[in-house]
Each structure stands twice: as structure tokens, then as C-alpha cells.
Amino acid sequence: MNYTLHQLQVFAKIADTQSITKAAEALHLTQPAVSIQLKKLQEQFEIPLTEVVGRQLYITEFGREIEVAARNIIDQAIAIQNKTMAYKGQMVGKVTISVVSTGKYVMPFFLRDFFRLHPGIELAMDVTNKSQVVDSLSRNQVDFSLVSIVPDNMQLGQLDLIKNKLYLVANADFTRKKVKNLNTFFESIPLIHREPGSGTRQTMERFIQSLDISVNRKLELSSNEAVKQAVIAGLGLSIMPLIGIKNELTLGQLQIIPIPGLPIQTTWRLIWQKGRRHGPAASALLDYLTANKSQIIRQHFDWYEAY
């Protein structure tokens, strides 16, 4: 047997994704590179590891057995690496974080220097919508979650990081005028919404309900980026987090429309299950953020604080 650890890692990812293409994307490799590694691994066995039915790749029953063995080998290799780094005095482990979609503009800046200080710690960060973030937290699948609206049905610990400010935004061609009647204004413009389960949508709907006004809902889109591009294209206006539109404001592609009651302000918070026992890596990250969050805000978010 002449298989390599890299071949086993590639095969494990193929088994996860059931796809050469998706495995290549996850591993940041080209499709031919993944195919070559799979072929070289297959050459070590007389029984097929995979099969293609129609255009879909499947792992064979024998392949599943090899997958289990491969994961054990990979885990042991990681354990050896961790023991080596721990012996050298470096902290090791893994931190898992689920992040609401607009939080991707926030969380990396709070993590960067910590992971530079501790190269032996791995990070798994899942970026998705609020309902899925809360679900992963409730199932105890992650160490932390980043949200701007804290769920009220869980016992949580939390660390406030930075304010989340939401403004009404339009594209550069929109004629800005003084808003005299909010109800008339929102009935006359197409308002673009995020999908159900989004924290941004929940915040927007609470604002609209508090004003007791009617709106012209034009579109419902499933990501902040999609909403942003729709607004730039002139399909409508939207209430969006400031944190995600810095470049578009600078380039003049978007403009903030001042109306009474905005910006809406919430807070980006790192939350965790109170009953969860954090490992050394997660505890170290929490201590680091508590001690350094003010410095991180000054270093990376001066522009944001000015609004």
C-alpha cells in the first residue's frame, strides 16, 4: 500500500460531498487534481471505491469502509500534530463558530490576530442565516454563534462586540427627497426583503410594524449580497446593515436615504450555550476577545463608528 495522507483527505471530502467538483471547491484544489488523487488511491485497491450512476457519483459499500478507516488515520495524524505542537508549548484545538450572513463582514476581523497568535488552533466557521445559526447553537454543534438578535428561548452567555446599524439604501440614480409621510413613501417604492429566517428581515419587519405603515414588497432574496446587487441595479430600496456596504458607498453605487427612525441599532453579539464546557481553544478565544475588542474596533472599524 502506497496511499498518502493527502489522498485519504481528498477521498474523505469526496465522500462528504458526493462530488468531485464540490470536493475540489472545499479543498481549494482544481477538479483534475482531485480526480488524480482519487485515481491514485483507487489504484491501491482491486474493489471500486466509487461508482457513477447517471451523472451522480456514489461511494460504494467497500468505499464506505475505507472512508471510516481513512478518517481514523486522518484523526490520528492530527492528534500527532497536536501533540507535537503542545510539546513545543503551542496551544492546539479547534473552535467552531456559526455566523449570520452579514456577520461575515464582522467576525473575521475579530478572529484574525488570535489565530495568528495560535497557529495550532483550527477554525470552522459556518456562514448562514439566523434560523440555521440558532439551530446549530441549540443542538450544541458549535462553540459560539454571532448574531444581532439574541434568541429569547435559550440560556445563553454573550459578549457584545460592535453595534449593528441598518439604514435605508438606494442606488445612485434614486432622487433623494425629504420624506414627509412615511406611509406614502413606503407605499410608493419597491422594498426588497431578505428571506424568512434572516435577522436583517426580522429587524426590518419590526421597524415597519412599529410605524404601523404599509409597504410595497417587491422582491425577496436569500442573501445580503443578492439584495445589495438588486438595489444597485435599481430594482428597489432596502434596509441594510451598514457593515456590508462600505465599498458601495465609497464608490457611489449606493446612497443612504435619511428617514425618521433610522438607523436601527442592534448589537453584534457572540453567544454560547451556558451549559457548554468550552475547551482550552474556545476559552482562550473568549478571553482574547474580551480583552481586545475595543482595540480591534479602533483598528478595523473607525469608518463604521463615524456614521
Q: What is the pTM of this model?
A: 0.67
For the segment 151-186, what is each residue's pLDDT rounded down to a tens digit? 888 899 999 999 999 999 999 999 877 667 777 788
% of the chain exceeding 90 in pLDDT? 54
- For the chain, which domains are there? 5-87 (1.10.10.10), 93-162+267-305 (3.40.190.10), 164-265 (3.40.190.10)
Among candidate residues 70, 142, 65, 63, the one with its CA nearest the CA of residue 99: 142
Distance CA 76, CA 59 (A): 23
For the segment 255-267, what is each residue's pLDDT rounded down to a tens digit? 999 888 889 999 9
